[in-house]
Structure formats: C-alpha cells, structure tokens
C-alpha cells in the first residue's frame, strides 16, 4: 500500500535516484517513469496513474530542461512549483520524485547532442528548430538515469512521442515507450501547463482548436484532398480568433511522413500549432 499522505521522497541527483531504484529492483519490483517539466495538471496525473497500473513503483521527474527552449522562449517564466507538484504526485501514486538541478543534468563541459531524423523533421521543427535536439538529449539521459521498464508520454505532444519512440528504438534503450491519450477540459481543450498563461477571452478561443481539428479529421478520413482540408482548417482557426497559425498538417500516424497521393490511405493524425497572444498552443487528433 502507498501512504498517499507521506511526503514524497525527492532524489536530487542520479546517485540518489539509482540507489532507490536499485533497492526496488533487489526486492523484485518493476519500475515505471513519467518525465515532466512540472507545473502539473490532471494530464500529468493521468500519466502517473497509468504508470502505476503498469509497474510496482513509479518515478516522476520534474526538470525544466533549458536545452529545449530557444533564447526568446519562456524558460525564465515557465511555472515552477515543486512543493505543489510533489504533493500532487504523491496523491496520484508516485513513489519517488527525481528533481535534479541544471548543473546535475548538464555539468560543466557537457557537449553531447542527440539528433533524431525521421519524425522530428517538419511541423514543430520548422518553427522551433532547437526543440527536438533538446528533448532528445534530456529524454535519453532521463531514460538512462531511471532505467525503468516503461515510460509514459502524453499524446498531446504527439510529434515528441513519435521522436522519443524512434530514438529509444534506434539507440536500443530498453524502456518501453507508451503513449497516453490527451486529457481535455469539459470544452475539449487539451490540458497544458501553458494554458495558465491564457486570459478568459483567449481561453474561449483556445477551446475551439479541438473542434476545428475534429471537423478536418472527419473530412480527411472521408478521403477529401489533404491540401484542401489543411487549408480550410487553417482559415477556420484564424476565423475562430487565433492570431497566427504555425501549421495544420495531416500526416501518417507512425512516422509523421506526408501522404504521397494527397489523400489519407493509412492511419493518420492531424496536428496543429497556433498562437493566442504570447501563448502557443498545440493539439492533434487521430484520423
Ligand atoms: O513533454 C515534456 O514535458 C518535456 O518535453 C519532457 C518530455 C519532460 C522533456 O523535457
């Protein structure tokens, strides 16, 4: 039984993390892992609960990873609230919080990069070229540090999920990568730590993203030409009140490649990124 009222143990460095995991392994426990950047919400807690279904012990990390932010992005203002996060994690059944410092993750002299091709091409990379390099290096490190049996990633960041899955396979990282369905509010808005930046008026507009994508997904599933579906969805997002749309794209679900015949003829995903004020929202749906 997990005592959900006890404070959650926190490991601040790899040695402390590994000592606990080693001890669990000695006792024959399986281990699951949920990487996060903190500012937790119900979406993260769903990952933690799912992790608890899949293994005896759950490790979650909270690390706001500087290498996945560009200089002009929100690294400095990204919400940080460790005590609250720890309490929420404990309540959801997490057994250990790994919360390393930037210095512990990237000590002086750190020079290694990880580049994943395939699914990291296009979409987010066209607008945030630094992003998957940063994600790949930190996730490779975290997976090596925790050495869990299974690790959970939200489908909300669908391209990230495909990139991490490809990387783990290519680098023979022995942790199974599991995607978990996106948690949404009552209006269909995908939960995200960055939703906290939205004003009430922006929130109303943000809640229309999912509807526009759902309509486009139906058209694409009916084999309407993808270019037209993407164009209409793009226009609909602007009409809904989004100030700028980075992309709306229909791609193959597994490797995020384009459909060469211009119609959906295999499992697909529609993905979008759009701006409201200073906030960039992403979402996606299966087709
Ligand atoms: O999805 C996130 O929160 C981050 O990109 C991750 C996977 C924790 C890596 O920093």
Token pair 């750190």 is found at 110
Residues 42 and 93 in one domain: yes
What is the whole-number distance in angstroms between the Cα of residue 58 and the centre of ligand 1? Answer: 17
Q: Is the CB of 35 within 6 Å of ligand 1? A: yes
Does any domain span residue 185? no
157 in contact with ligand 1, CB cutoff 6 A: yes
Atom of ligand 1 nearest to the CA of 68: 10
Q: Calculate how far, in angstroms, residue 265's C-alpha sits from the geometric centre of ligand 1.
A: 31
Residue 187 located in a structural domain: no
pLDDT in tens, the chain (287 residues): 444 556 899 999 999 999 999 999 999 999 999 999 999 999 999 999 999 999 999 999 999 999 999 999 989 999 999 999 999 999 999 999 999 999 999 999 999 999 999 999 999 999 999 999 999 999 999 999 999 999 999 999 999 999 999 999 999 999 999 999 999 999 999 999 889 899 999 999 999 999 999 999 999 999 999 999 999 999 999 999 999 999 999 999 999 999 999 999 999 999 999 999 999 999 999 99
Which domain does 255 fall in, by range?
193-286
Residue 24, both tokens? 């669990």
- Asked whether residue 243 is domain-assigned, the answer is yes
**CB distance 37 to ligand 1 below 6 Å:** yes
Kindly tell me the number of DSSP H helices and DSSP E strands found in the chain: 10, 9
pTM for the predicted model, two decimal places: 0.96
Measured from the Cα of 139, ligand 1's closest atom is 9
Do 89 and 176 share a domain, yes or no? yes
Same domain, 12 and 126: yes
pLDDT, one tens digit per residue, over 180-217 is 999 999 999 999 988 989 999 999 999 999 999 999 99
Domain annotation covers residue 186? no
Q: State whether 265 and 238 are in the same domain.
A: yes
- The CATH number assigned to the domain holding 232 equals 3.30.1300.10
Answer yes or no: is the C-beta of 138 below 6 A from any ligand 1 atom: yes
Centroid of ligand 1 to alpha carbon of 37 (angstroms): 6
> Do 204 and 97 belong to one domain?
no
* 63 in the same domain as 36: yes
Distance (angstroms) between ligand 1 centre and the Cα of 222 equals: 34
| Total structural domains within the chain | 2
Q: Measuring from atom 6 of ligand 1, which residue has the nearest CA?
A: 36
Q: What is the DSSP string of 111-179?
A: -------GGGSSTHHHH-TTHHHHHHHHHHHHHHHH--SEEEEEGGGHHHHHHHHHHHHHTT--SEEEE
Tokens of 34: 């949920």
Question: Hey, which of 33, 34, 35, 190 would you mutate to test ligand 1's pocket, going by the most ligand atoms within 8 Å of its Cβ?
Answer: 35
Same domain for 197 and 104 = no
- Comparing CA positions, the residue from 163, 155, 158, 210 lying closest to residue 182 is 155
Residue owning the nearest CA to atom 2 of ligand 1: 36
C-alpha distance from residue 75 to each of 67, 134, 202, 243, 260 (Å): 10, 13, 22, 22, 38
Cβ(65) – ligand 1 distance below 6 Å: yes
Clarify whether residues 245 and 166 are in a common domain: no
How many other CB atoms are there within 10 angstroms of residue 89's CB atom?
Answer: 26
Tell whether 146 is covered by a domain.
yes
For residues 96 and 57, the answer to whether their CB atoms sit within 8 Å is yes
Q: Mark whether 158 and 236 lie in a shared domain.
A: no
Same domain, 89 and 159: yes
- Asked if residues 39 and 66 have their Cβ atoms less than 8 Å apart, the reply is no
List active site positions.
44
d(CA 168, ligand 1 centre) in Å: 15
């Amino acid at each position: 039984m997990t005592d959900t009222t006890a404070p959650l143990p926190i490991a601040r460095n790899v040695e402390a993390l590994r000592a606990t995991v080693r001890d669990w392994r000695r006792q024959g426990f399986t281990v699951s892992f949920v990487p996060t950047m903190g500012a937790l919400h119900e979406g993260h807690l769903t990952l933690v609960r799912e992790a608890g279904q899949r293994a005896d012990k759950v490790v979650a990390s909270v690390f706001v990873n500087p290498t996945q932010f560009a200089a002009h992005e929100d690294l400095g203002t990204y919400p940080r609230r460790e005590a609250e996060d720890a309490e929420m994690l404990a309540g959801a059944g997490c057994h250990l919080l790994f919360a390393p410092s930037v210095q512990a993750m990237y000590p002086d002299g750190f020079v290694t990069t990880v580049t994943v091709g395939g699914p990291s091409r296009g979409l987010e990379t066209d607008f945030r070229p630094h992003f998957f390099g940063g994600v790949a290096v930190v996730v490779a490190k975290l997976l090596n540090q925790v050495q869990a049996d299974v690790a959970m990633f939200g489908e909300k960041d669908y391209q990230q999920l495909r990139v991490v899955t490809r990387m783990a396979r290519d680098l023979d990282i022995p942790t199974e990568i599991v995607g978990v369905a996106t948690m949404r509010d009552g209006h269909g808005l995908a939960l995200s730590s960055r939703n906290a930046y939205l004003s009430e008026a922006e929130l109303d507009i943000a809640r229309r993203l999912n509807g526009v994508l759902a309509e486009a997904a139906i058209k694409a599933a009916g084999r309407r030409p993808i270019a037209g579906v993407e164009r209409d969805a793009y226009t609909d997002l602007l009409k809904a009140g989004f100030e700028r749309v980075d992309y709306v794209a229909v791609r193959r679900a597994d490797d995020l490649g384009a459909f060469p015949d211009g119609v959906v003829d295999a499992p697909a995903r529609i993905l979008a990124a759009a701006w409201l004020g200073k906030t960039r929202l992403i979402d996606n749906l299966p087709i």
